[in-house]
Amino acid sequence: MKKNTMLLLSILFSFFTLSSVQQAKSTDHNYYWMKITAHDKFERSVIANLGVAIEIVKDDYVIAYGNDRELEKLKSMGKLVAASNLALEPLDFPTSDAAYHNYTELVEAMQTLAKQNPDLVQMTSIAKTIEGHDMWALRITSDFAHADQKPAAIYMGGHHAREHLSVEMPLMLAQYLIAQYRANNPRIVGLVNSRDIHIIPTVNPDGMEYDIKDTSYKMWRKNRARNSDGTYGVDLNRNYGFQWGTGGSSTDTESEVYMGPKAFSEVESTAIKNYIEAHVNITTLLSFHSFSKLILYPWGHKYDGIENEKAKAVHETMAKKMATWNDYEPGQASGLYIASGDTTDWAFGVHQIISFTFELDPANSGFGGGGFYPGAGVIQPVFDKNIEPMLYLLEYADNPYRVLNIGIGPIKP
Ligand SMILES: [Zn+2]
């Protein structure tokens, strides 16, 4: 954390002390940014288990987002340092953040790419959400007839509704690949010819649309499933079916990290499962989230590392290499805190796919211009520093174990 942002945070949190918490939301529950004392992954996991969504991890505290019930619990535990429900600046998606794609614009951009490049791009709906949005996937290769026999990588964004920057990255990857292919960039021509590339810019179209409804951000994370008690939303990145519900997620339907009634209870997570299982040539996976500037890999559901030493080393080696390009901090997911039911634990745990989560820029939470709503100005620079990691995962999709330089081994352990 840079000194000036540290200062900003401390000023904000000293100003918005517990006594100055005000009502700012008109929903059933009020939601807060909370600064919470925690000194290691064990203490952080206790906090994660309360049901808040931890967004920033520092040496002696975390910044998390959660509801008033969770705030009261933390207060009674003596762990709450400060809280603020200061509404974010009334940012306006259609004007100041117009560069971000809403669902309609996203679909149009994907359709344009597919229509103009039928020889390179296929666009498929992989499911319809409960609010009737199609979940669209792009498949990019120059040889669809033999794509199944080529090494494949998958890129996803938008599991969490308010993480709009995570939707832009996969879309821009698709546009970049096509533009560079047409420009005869030899490296990209080689990749598009030799690889089977899968891109799903948003896994959560319902949530994404809800978050920008009425042109004011709602800090929404989950999907828009109607829970049995009438509340809304399941955390899609706690709903995958590997060691589901074993920590860092909540059974409370109002929690930010509500795991759902069962593993793969949701249309969206099930669609990703089915899609990945229909493409058994996928060997590398990247799921974009925001924010914190991190490169994370399994396990998330437990503190132990991946048992297979080679598979563990591949994740570690690739994460470190990718960090040289984007300058994010690499590490095992549970080094932050325990979280179960996420995409990468499932993809590696069940299918041995080498899997990463990127927490994109910025590093810090924002009151006015940071956090989940960093503004349109970051889109291009964040893409520019993440294109090499994306291409790297594609280049090594033929056999990620090549990064270990131990001769050509098995593609999967
Ligand atoms: Zn996320």
Q: pLDDT tens-digit profile of 71-112?
A: 999 999 999 998 887 654 433 354 667 889 999 999 999 999
Q: Which helix (H) or strand (E) holds 89?
A: none
Determine the distance separating the centroid of ligand 1 and the alpha carbon of 296, expressed in angstroms: 12
Determine the distance separating the centroid of ligand 1 and the alpha carbon of 164, expressed in angstroms: 10
Determine the distance separating the centroid of ligand 1 and the alpha carbon of 331, expressed in angstroms: 16
pLDDT digits (tens, 9 = 90+) for 39-78: 999 999 999 999 999 988 989 999 899 999 999 999 999 9
Determine the distance separating the centroid of ligand 1 and the alpha carbon of 159, expressed in angstroms: 6
| 122: amino acid identity, one letter | Q
Give ion ligand 1 contacts, CB < 5 A.
160, 163, 289
**Is 307 part of the annotated catalytic residue set?**
no
In a domain, 411, yes or no: no
- Number of compact structural domains in the chain: 2
Dist CA 70 CA 234 (whole Å): 17
Determine the distance separating the centroid of ligand 1 and the alpha carbon of 278, expressed in angstroms: 25
Per the structure, the complete domain to which residue 350 belongs is given by 103-404
Phi, psi at residue 181, to the nearest 5°? -65, -45
Q: What is the CATH number of the domain that holds 157?
A: 3.40.630.10
Dist CA 388 CA 400 (whole Å): 15
Question: Which one is catalytic: 277, 359, 388, 395?
Answer: 359
Which residues pair with residue 53 across a beta bridge? 65
pLDDT digits (tens, 9 = 90+) for 159-197: 999 999 999 999 999 999 999 999 999 999 999 999 999
Q: Mean of the pLDDT values across residues 11-39? A: 58
Determine the distance separating the centroid of ligand 1 and the alpha carbon of 405, expressed in angstroms: 33
Q: What is the CATH number of the domain that holds 75?
A: 3.30.70
In a domain, 97, yes or no: no
In a domain, 409, yes or no: no
63, 55 Cβ separation under 8 angstroms: yes
